[in-house]
Structure 1
Amino acid sequence: MTVLAFGDTIRLKDGRIIKGKIISFNGGKFTVLFDDGTRQRQMNYSADEIESITFDADSTPTANVETLNQTPSGSSDKTKIGNDTIITVGQNKNPDNTPTPSPKVSPPANTSAITPAPITLNVKVLADNTSNGWTNSGWVARKGQKIKITGGGRVSLGNGRLTSPGGIASLSDSGKLKKDEPTGGLIAVIGDDNNDFIFIGDSLEFVAARDGALFLGVNEGNLNDNSGAFDVKIEIDPETSN
């Protein structure tokens, strides 16, 4: 079979581009004629080596292109672009031009554990001598429970002295329950049968050392001239509440 074609462009799969004249196709091989003006030479290229062939439409008979496209293996595709006919060599894996479906990608599973919200209580802690200076928070702590207490607001310790839950470190008081902590600061105790007082200050997170009701108060010996209340938030870790 002979194909007359001039100005043919052969693109090889290794990236090379060859300009020549395809003169035949037989046994799965193209024969290409090269003419440099002084002499001619021929080279054979297997269809497996070729990515595409572009024929110059001005010099390539349509019938010959059709014949070239209809190889026994059915391994070539023809595309018309402008005045050029491009033949792509290689097995056509999708002869019907059916769109290839995109692979289905499942979103990654959310393996992070959802942290439950803490149990929250809001309590007004009186600074005066009401209930012997202790405010019952309404929560019964369990040993091993994680508890966070945060104080806010200001109270009067008498004589014009105001303090936040952090207390006044420079104010001496021999009667306060936590001797080494600031006077007037926020304190706590679990149960009513011990003196294991806990200095909370502005904020503290701790683990309950025993079972018992949680009481809150002010670290001062004389509460009779006090007034006001701290705004206290108590947060209990629900995972340690059983």
Structure 2
Amino acid sequence: MRKIIAIIALLVLFTVAAMADTLYLKNGSVLKGNFIGYENGLFIFEINNGNRLKLRPSEVLKLVIERDTVADNRPVPDAGNPNRPNWENFPAVDVKLEEQWYRTRINLMRGQRVRVSSTGTITLDGRTQTGPEGLSGKRDPDAPMPDQNDGGLVAVIGQDPNAPMIFIGRSNEFVADRDGVLYFTVNHWETRDARGSFRVNVSADRNLSSVPVGPDSGNVGQVPSRGSEKTVTVPSTQQWTDTGIDLEPNMTLDIVAEGNIELSSRYRSTPDGNRDVIANTASFPLQGEGAGALVAKIRYRDGRESNVVLIGSRSTPKTEQGEYGRLFLGINDDFLRDNKGSYTVRIRW
């Protein structure tokens, strides 16, 4: 009896699988089921026994959405063609002219086709107005893309300072050349007296494209050194300070710190630490370095934390492959209540 039930269940599974989405993994596995979505940098895929799998982009070779092609059991043109677009529309966002890039919640994969359209008006300097297409024939040499229209809409994928930028204008369609979060900014350097915003709509093809991935001719440039910048105050009376900066793999930071703090009535310290008072017990965040030094750690998404590292007055750390988390800055001290002062830390990425 059990064998009969097992055979019936297997036949039902095969029948359902014939109408399911197909996920091809780089290890050679082929999964049938339903593609639920792409959330927090992971594929959510429900296999036919009801279990949901969470897969990293690095594990996935190709995703084919098939359930739309078999509706009502009627043949559909191009059914089974993995390159047939299956567009997912994301909520619209408002992009202002600000110092920092606008970080969307859209995680893209290398080879994914993306459509962006935009409307709205921004006043650049209190007088000059422009739409997302920018000012035709006018250039800003300090803008993110100095060879494109001043004031136009610009995008980039991920936080790698060497990532190519994409001029969007009112609309553009491109193929993602890397995995990462989609960012937007306005192609203008000076942010003072800026008003208004661009309303931006994004759609992404849930099927990975077979189109060769490369720079979009005429519309790419290098991310400027400005990138994003944030200044954080790190008080000496607090062990750890949340910078509010979310880190991604292969992300390079430029951290510059200044200021002086009092560790007690006897000792003072700069961000490099007081070398006359070396941390030598486990109660200090980082042993072997001077008391009062500026240190850092990453709190990962799963709650784990990285090793504590020295930042000092200047450091350019780079995250490793697979590192997603929040950056925290701290004071290398084991007794904080009698401390005074703070460090001012500028972080660029």
> What is the TM-score normalised by the length of structure 2?
0.35
Higher relative contact order (CA 8 A, sep 6+): 1
